Structure 1
Amino acid sequence: MRFTFYHNNINVLDLEKSVEFYQKALGLTITKEVEAEDNSFKLVFLGDQTTPHLLELTWLRDMDRPYNLGDNEFHLAMRVDDMDAALALHKEMDCVCFENPDMGIYFINDPDGYWVEICPEA
């Protein structure tokens, strides 16, 4: 038996705003959309056009408040081939929330407060 990564899911309050953020900040593209027949939820899968791993954004119609992320230090991590250009873009977008120059990484946060770690290619 062998398991492989398929996707990670995060719930988002404003689907359009989140999709726009992930497209602009990380260059992800929509690979699939699923909507409930009763319009109670919508799923949008985003990919990086390189790996098979996907990010699933889930929008729930009846959610009327920001998600409580608590003390969980959950985050996504992405590699980038040009750290300087990426950092400049993310500073322009005003989404950099933590920099660790000693480790050569930094974090951005999305519209719902989820953190994304930006790492140089190995």
Structure 2
Amino acid sequence: MKFTFNHNNINVLDLEKSLAFYKENLGLVEVRRKVAEDGSFILIFLGDGITGHNLELTWLRDWSKPYNLGDNEFHIAFHVDDYEGAHALHKKNDCICYENEKMGIYFISDPDGYWIEIIPSRR
């Protein structure tokens, strides 16, 4: 028996703002969408165009307050082939929330406050 990753899910308050953030800052694009017949939710799966792993954004029509992220100790991580270029983009977009220069990584925060770790691809 072998298990492989399929997707991770996060809930978002403003779907359009989140879609724009993930496209602009990480190059993720919509690969699939499911809209509830009654309009109560929308699921959008975002992909990087390289791996089969997706990020599922869930928007709930009846949810109107920010999500409680607890201590925000969980995160999503991405390798990037141009670390300096990514850092410049994220600095320009004012979404860097934490840098660890000693480890050579940094984190950005999405519109809902989820942290995303940016890791340089190993050379």
1:93 aligns with 2:93: yes
Structure 1 stretches of 4+ moved >2 Å = none
Counterpart in 1 of 2:5? 5
The separation in 2 between residues aligned to 1:56 and 1:6, in whole angstroms, is 10
Superposition RMSD in Å = 0.5
Counterpart in 2 of 1:17? 17
1:74 aligns with 2:74: yes
Counterpart in 2 of 1:112? 112
Q: Alignment length, in residue pairs?
A: 122
Cα deviation digits, residues 42-78 of structure 1 (max 9, x gap): 0010000010000000000000100010114110000
Counterpart in 1 of 2:28? 28
Counterpart in 1 of 2:56? 56
Matching residue's letter, 1:34 = K
TM-score scaled by length of structure 1: 0.99
- Contact 2:21 / 2:111 at 8 angstroms: preserved in 1? yes
The separation in 1 between residues aligned to 2:64 and 2:7, in whole angstroms, is 25
Equivalent position SS for 1:113: coil
Equivalent position SS for 1:18: helix
Equivalent position SS for 1:33: strand
The separation in 2 between residues aligned to 1:47 and 1:64, in whole angstroms, is 26
TM-score scaled by length of structure 2: 0.98
The separation in 2 between residues aligned to 1:113 and 1:71, in whole angstroms, is 11
Cα deviation digits, residues 25-49 of structure 1 (max 9, x gap): 0001110010000000000100000
The separation in 2 between residues aligned to 1:59 and 1:28, in whole angstroms, is 17
**What percent identity do the matched residue pairs reach?**
66
